[in-house]
Amino acid sequence: MSADARLGERLAGLEREGLARTRRTLAGPQGATVVVDGAALANFSSNDYLGLANDARLREAAHRAIDAMGVGAGASPLVSGHTRLHDEAEQRFAAFCAMPRALLFGSGYAANLGILAALGDANAEIFSDELNHACLIDGARLSRAKVTRYPHADTHALSAALAASGATTRIVATDAVFSMDGDIAPVPEILALCERHDAWLVLDDAHGMGVLGARGHGTLEHFAVESRRVVYMATLGKALGGYGAFVAAPEQAIEWILQRARTYIFSTALPPMMAAVAMRALELIDEDGARVAALRERIAQFRAGCARAGVPVSASRTAIHPILLGDAVRAVAASRALAARGFWVPAIRPPSVPDGTSRLRVSLCATHTAQQVDELVRALADCVPG
Ligand SMILES: *Cc1c(COP(=O)(O)O)cnc(C)c1O
């Protein structure tokens, strides 16, 4: 069989197992309602948790930055791509999450690859939650460190693994909010273990930034923790509505990452407009606390509605709410039935989740109306097989 025919075989296999993915094309901007194939769908599939992706104030910030700075950075940050907008954004991020220094990356994926491969080496051991996001897993692999996976959120297992480690450098890596389950990592307990065992804590707050904490400043604010061991990563592409990512950490750790992270060094700097958009998003979170509050209201409403309607939703208190169905084919069928009723709720399947844990994943946004959430609960009660 030729190489091409083999690929065809494998693609057919994905189709048979309900694992083939397709893209749906949006006719307009991201939002609480989107138009797909000529039909308007209530959109419960995006990470635009604060509804900022198409916010007029962020669009204006982008326009202004384009007029002042052009559209492309033109070079890696260490050559000539680092502009005053990048510089200012880094300072604002550091202040926003109460960390000494921050560094902008092209994306969250690139940031996690860069951080773990820069901090880790062949003499390091990386302790990784078994449900971590793909980019933490890939970063750990890339580092050449020994990788020890611990059972999800199991601090006893993590403690034992750290105690048994003879590595020179120890790094614990975890999602702060798990992207497929919506649960929050036990950060204070993990941090205490990192203190005891002289380990870095690489914390991926892609889904906590803008969502958790009294002011929406993220998981560190939620737990009121502060530590010189935390290397904190948050994306700009989720609640902050734009694109890119930043890493915040103590001065020296950031300097090392700047010197050694290959995804920072060998990649074009973020377009300066994205730095401007991100700064404006931080301002909006602080000026307009009603956004974060509205998201919290929708979350509470959804949970209460599901409890009343008997929809078997998890105990998540974040914007992400999985409904476990097990089989990929069942999850796809439920997602299709919801789409037919006007709701976009994605079916999440392997390899995004472990085999046998396919699910619907509802993502709530501040811009959903109370009516949209009520109607979704009713549709879920009808479409989710009991
Ligand atoms: C989305 C996501 C990333 C990647 O961030 P991008 O900026 O989209 O590349 C990293 N970690 C987690 C947990 C994510 O959900």
Residue 347 phi, psi (nearest 5): -90, 125
Length of the chain, please?
A: 386
Domain membership flag for residue 4:
no
State which of 231, 262, 287 marks the end of a domain.
287
Which residue's CA is the closest to the ligand 1 atom numbered 5? 108
Based on the fold, state whether residues 342 and 360 are members of the same structural domain.
yes
Q: In this structure, is residue 12 part of a structural domain? A: no
Atom of ligand 1 nearest to the CA of 112: 10
Residue at 15 is within a domain: no
User: Dihedral angle at the C-alpha atoms of 290, 296, 300, 301, nearest 10 degrees?
Assistant: 50
In a domain, 342, yes or no: yes
Query: Which atom of ligand 1 is found nearest the CA of 245?
Result: 7
| Domain membership flag for residue 16 | no
Residue 148 beta carbon below 6 angstroms from any ligand 1 atom: no
Q: Which amino acid residue places its CA nearest to atom 1 of ligand 1?
A: 206
204 lines ligand 1 (CB under 6 A): yes
Residue 302 CA to residue 305 CA, distance in Å, equals 5
The residue from 230, 255, 287 where one domain ends is: 287
Q: What is the pLDDT of residues 185-232, one digit of tens each?
A: 999 999 999 999 999 999 999 999 999 999 999 999 999 999 999 999
Listing DSSP states for 171-239 in one string gives: EEEEESB-TTT--B--HHHHHHHHHHTTEEEEEE-TTTTTTSSTTS--HHHHHT---TTEEEEEESSST
CA 381 to ligand 1 center in whole angstroms = 30
Q: What's residue 321's pLDDT?
A: 98
Average pLDDT, the chain: 96
Query: Which residue's CA is the closest to the ligand 1 atom numbered 7?
Result: 108
Q: Of all residues in the chain, what percent are helix, strand and coil, respectively (each to 5)? A: 45, 20, 40
Shared-domain flag, residues 95 and 224: yes
The CATH number given to whatever domain includes residue 364 is 3.90.1150.10
Q: How far is the CA of 61 from the centre of ligand 1 (A)?
A: 23
CA distance 87 to 104: 9
| Cβ–Cβ < 8 Å for 131, 152 | yes
- Shortest-distance Cα residue to atom 2 of ligand 1: 206
The Å distance, Cα 146 to ligand 1 centre, comes to 23
Closest ligand 1 atom to 243 CA: 7
Angstrom distances, CA of residue 326 to CA of 184, 321, 360, 385: 22, 15, 10, 11
Residue 385 banded pLDDT, cuts 50, 70, 90:
confident
Final residue belonging to a domain, choices 264, 287, 310:
287
The answer, yes or no, to whether any atom of ligand 1 lies below 6 A from the CB of 335, is: no
Residues 73-120: pLDDT tens digits?
A: 999 999 999 999 999 999 999 999 999 999 999 999 999 999 999 999
User: Does the residue 206 lie in any domain?
Assistant: yes
Angle at Cα 73 formed by Cα 69 and Cα 79, nearest 5°?
Answer: 125
Residues 328 and 346 both lie in one domain: yes
Q: Within this chain, do residues 238 and 337 fall inside the same structural domain, yes or no?
A: no
Residue 248 sits in the same domain as residue 377: no
Read off the pLDDT of each residue in 334-350 and give the average, rounded to a whole number. Answer: 95
One domain for residues 309 and 194 = no
For ligand 1, the distance from its centroid to the CA atom of residue 246, given in whole angstroms, is: 11
Indicate the SS3 state at residue 241: coil
* CB distance 177 to ligand 1 below 6 Å: no
Task: Write out the residue range of the structural domain in which residue 364 sits.
Answer: 22-51+289-383
pTM: 0.96
247 CB near ligand 1 (under 6 Å): no
* CA–CA gap between residue 186 and residue 123 (Å, rounded): 27
168, part of any domain: yes
Residue 206 and residue 71 in one domain: yes
Ligand 1 pocket test, pick from 203, 204, 219 with the greatest ligand atom count within 8 Å of Cβ, gives 204
pLDDT at 175: 98
Ligand 1 close to Cβ of residue 46 (< 6 A):
no
User: Tens of pLDDT along 124-166?
Assistant: 999 999 999 999 999 999 999 999 999 999 999 999 999 999 9
Structural domains in the chain (count): 2
Instruction: Render pLDDT for 235-252 as a digit per residue (tens, 0 to 9).
Output: 999 999 999 999 999 999
User: In a mutational test of the pocket of ligand 1, which residue from 46, 135, 363 has the highest number of ligand atoms less than 8 Å from its CB?
Assistant: 135
For residue 86, the domain's CATH number is 3.40.640.10
State the catalytic residues: 179, 207, 238
**Rounded distance from Cα 209 to ligand 1 centre (Å):** 12
Does residue 111 sit within a domain?
A: yes
Assess whether 229 and 327 both reside in one domain. no
330 and 263 within one domain: no
Residues 259 and 150 in one domain: yes
For 69-120, give the DSSP string: H-S---S-IIIII--HHHHHHHHHHHHHTT-SEEEEES-HHHHHHHHHHHH-
- Separation of CA 103 and ligand 1 centre (Å): 16
- Residues 241 and 294 occupy one common structural domain: no
For the chain, percent of residues with pLDDT exceeding 90: 94
Kindly give the distance from the C-alpha atom of residue 323 to the centroid of ligand 1, in angstroms, as a whole number: 21
Within this chain, do residues 172 and 262 fall inside the same structural domain, yes or no?
A: yes
CA dihedral of 48, 133, 317, 152, whole degrees rounded to 10: 180
